[in-house]
Amino acid sequence: MKVALITNYWKESQGGGIRVYLQNLVRELAASGADVRVIFREGSDPDEVCIPGGQRLFAVRSLSALRDYRPDVISVHGGWHCLFPAVAYKLIHGCTVVQTFHTEPEEALTDRFRLFYQTLLNRCDHVTFVSDRLRERTSEVWNLRFPRTEITYAGAPEVVAVTSEEVAAFRERFGIGDRRPVLLALGLTALKYKAEGLKHLIQAVNLLKEKYPGVVLIATRRGVFSPEVEEFARAEGASEHVVFTGDIENPSVPLSLCDIYTHITLGDGLPIALLEAMAMGKPIVATPVAGIPEAIRDGENGILVPPEPAEIAEKIDYLLKNPDVARRLGEAAKRTVEERFTWQKSAAKFLVLFSDGRRV
């Protein structure tokens, strides 16, 4: 089976969770025997097809790349400029088209663009979403109807062993030293609704610092909202308790040293960072938004909390005062990932959709 995957983000891009999702999916599809060609707009990979530039140029040149490759299936992971060449190729040559949505919509579509997008979606064989809540939210905000829909959850990244030397080097590099407790938030600076959640978390840290003078929040990734959030931390008087690392090569290092993983966001799909923390058996405090409640059951394998600083601080304090509870929640989170969120399961579901008849 020849599969063309069209996306904005590929290796060495700022795609965050989408990039991680696709790299793992492609690896598993290839392991299952599929011949996969990636057509991407941002990133770097000499073995695949990079088409930089604007969206219209990408759409036109992607169609040419599809004609060269002649796929049986086109797996789309991007906006109209990724879907348009897939649908055009299907109408001309015939193939299966599967569109996947990854992120929450932030504003309504214009009537003209909604009609255009709906026309493209009507030609898809399947439309998938990385969480059930994302399916609901996309339909609500964009007022779109979807043909046969499925949920294609991400899998948790493979747990990478971390040495004590790596942890010590990380602590020294970012001036953390032996401070405790350590909270961690991965990748919450790239999108507005994530950055707003991170601000609530920073305010919660401010509330905790009197009781825990050594408390430190590690916030990773250099996103478009990083300057805004860093300025917010300064204005709140929390700079001494928040470490902004920028992009890091191995998130397993801060995950291994943190006491609690905190994913406070106002929107999301089903965050891969959350699944990674679960896979490492970390106690988790997260907001009950988007797809997060599909992975975290409050009080069973993590704690769900509204995005209110006082309540966030209260739940963090509870876990710090009750290490047995924190350990139990972390162990349950790890079991959840092992049972439900693996890349093998995700790839197997995509392969079923890819093999499911073609519609014109």
Say if residues 276 and 137 touch (Cβ distance below 8 Å).
no
Burial class (CB in 10 A: 0-12, 13-18, 19+), 94: exposed
- Going across the sheet that includes 242-246, the strands are 242-246, 216-220, 182-185, 260-263, 284-286, 303-304
CATH of the domain spanning 2-155+343-355? 3.40.50.2000
DSSP string spanning 227-281? HHHHHHHHHTT-GGGEEEEES-S-THHHHHH-SEEEE--S--SS-HHHHHHHHTT
Cβ contact 311:287 at 8 Å? no
Name the nearest CA neighbour of 50 among 38, 60, 59. 38
Does residue 17 have a pLDDT over 90? no
Instruction: Give the pLDDT score at 357.
Output: 54
CA within 13 Å, CB half, 151:
14
Residue 116: predicted pLDDT: 98
pLDDT digits over 226-253, tens only? Answer: 999 999 999 999 999 999 999 998 999 9
Tens of pLDDT along 314-348? Answer: 999 999 999 999 999 999 999 999 999 999 999 99
Average pLDDT for 143-151: 93
Average pLDDT of the chain is: 96
- The full set of domain ranges for the chain reads 2-155+343-355, 164-340
Least confident of 74-83, 85-94, 102-111: 102-111
Question: What was the pLDDT predicted at 16?
Answer: 83
Phi and psi, residue 325, nearest 5°: -65, -45
| Alpha-carbon torsion angle 297, 302, 306, 312, nearest 10 | 170
Q: Do 2-155+343-355 and 164-340 have matching folds?
A: yes
Burial letters for 58-68: b for 16+ Cβ neighbours within 10 Å, e otherwise? bbebbbebbee
Q: pLDDT for 174-205, tens place per residue?
A: 999 999 999 999 999 989 999 999 999 999 99
- Give CA–CA dist 7/13, Å, rounded: 11
Nearest C-alpha neighbor of 302 from the set 271, 331, 276: 331
Of the pLDDT bands very low, low, confident and very high (cuts 50, 70, 90), residue 158 is confident
Residue-level pLDDT at 208: 98
pLDDT band at 154 (very low <50, low <70, confident <90, very high): very high
> Per-residue confidence at 360, pLDDT binned at 50, 70, 90?
very low
- pLDDT of 290 reads 87
Q: In terms of Cα–Cα distance, which of 336, 300, 14 is closest to 153?
A: 336
Percentage of the residues of the chain whose pLDDT score is greater than 70:
99
Q: Report how far apart, in Å, the C-alpha atoms of 330 and of each of 84, 90, 249, 300, 336 are.
A: 43, 46, 24, 9, 10
Cα atoms found within 13 Å of the Cα of residue 40, Cβ hemisphere only:
22
Residue 132: which residues within 8 A CB-CB, separation 6 or more? Answer: 151, 291, 294
Distance CA 103, CA 89 (A): 25
- Report whether pLDDT(358) > 70: no
In single-letter form, the type of residue at position 102 comes to H
Q: What tokens appear for 222 in the block?
A: 């250099």
- In angstroms, rounded to a whole number, what is the distance separating the alpha carbons of residues 131 and 340? 13
pLDDT exceeds cutoff 50 at 359: no
* Banded pLDDT at 60 (limits 50, 70, 90): very high
* CA gap 42, 14 in Å, rounded: 8
pTM above 0.85, yes or no: yes
Which CATH topology does 164-340 take?
Rossmann fold (3.40.50)
Distance CA 248, CA 189 (A): 13
Do 330 and 282 touch, CB atoms closer than 8 A? yes
Task: Supply the DSSP string of 150-171, one letter for each residue.
Answer: EE-PPPPPPPPP--HHHHHHHH
Question: Locate tokens 């990748």: which residue?
Answer: 187
78 Cβ partners below 8 Å, 6+ apart? Answer: 6, 7, 8, 41
Question: Can you tell me the mean pLDDT for 100-117?
Answer: 95
